[in-house]
Amino acid sequence: MRLRNIPGARETIAESQWIVQDPASCKEKWKERFGNDHPVHLEIGTGKGKFINQLAVENPDINYVGIEKYSSVLIRALDKLDESQIGNLLFIRGDAELICEYFGEGEVEKIYLNFSDPWPKDRHAKRRLPSKEYLRRFAQILTKDGTIEFKTDNRALFDFAVDEVEAGGFKILQITYDLHSDPVMNEGNIMTEYEERFSAKGNPICKYILGRKE
């Protein structure tokens, strides 16, 4: 994601009604924050928010939280929300490394990772969102039957992610190396900004769905 410094982005984020300003205070209280009992689904590294915004519009009985590290990117997601005015989508401007400070044990039913940053250098492998280190964090906040969905066009990152699954405490429930040609896994697929861009170049999209090992 190319990052431009957008003047006033931090201030806009700090004042927005769609941003959870103190996510740690919502830990174990997300049902209260949303004002209902609906399950909570997360997208981590939400970027400009097209995917999660469309999901939230299509599924009003699910509460969505998008987590994004950079204000200059997240500000674009807020524009979409200002237009749609839905009540089941909130954002956190923060780092997924702190996810266990934001969500309690078993508080999340599903996690989406879409086109996560590849961090190509070996010494940065732990920063990759589908690494075993992150999977172990995700295991702490997911429900017993919780799932993780990851898609990317980056084959090297995907192969790495597949190798990390077991050590991260999960097993593969479904997998494809060409999502858009897989009628089962592609059903209802919502394209992200990156997915539109890279599939237009002819890159096949890889995807897996994980569940807990035991």
Where do contacts with ligand SAM occur on this chain (CB under 6 A)?
Answer: 1, 44-47, 67-70, 73, 95-97, 114-117, 192-195
- For residue 144, the minimal CB distance to ligand SAM (Å) is 25
- Say if residues 190 and 46 touch (Cβ distance below 8 Å): no
Q: What would the two tokens of residue 166 be?
A: 């077991």
Q: How far apart are the first and last CA of the chain?
A: 36
Q: How far apart are CA 34 and CA 116, in angstroms?
A: 27
Whether 82 is catalytic? no
Smallest gap from residue 37 Cβ to ligand SAM (A): 27
- Partners of residue 19 on adjacent β-strands: 91
Task: Identify how many contiguous H helices and E strands the chain contains and give both numbers.
Answer: 8, 7
Q: How far is the CB of 72 from ligand SAM (least distance, A)?
A: 9
**Residue pointed to by tokens 């939400």:** 46
154 vs 151: CA distance, rounded Å: 9
Pairing of the two strands 40-44 and 170-176: unpaired
Query: How many angstroms separate the CA atoms of 53 and 87, rounded?
Result: 11
Q: Which amino acid is at 160?
A: F
Q: How far is the CB of 81 from ligand SAM (least distance, A)?
A: 16
- Marked catalytic residue, from 95, 117, 122, 159: 117
Residue number with CB closer to ligand SAM (119 or 177): 119
CB closer to ligand SAM, 197 vs 213: 197
- Which of 70/177 has CB closer to ligand SAM? 70
C-alpha distances (whole Å) from 86 to each of 29, 74, 187 are 20, 17, 24
Q: How many CB atoms lie within 10 A of CB 99?
A: 21
Q: How far is the CB of 93 from ligand SAM (least distance, A)?
A: 9
Catalytic residues: 117
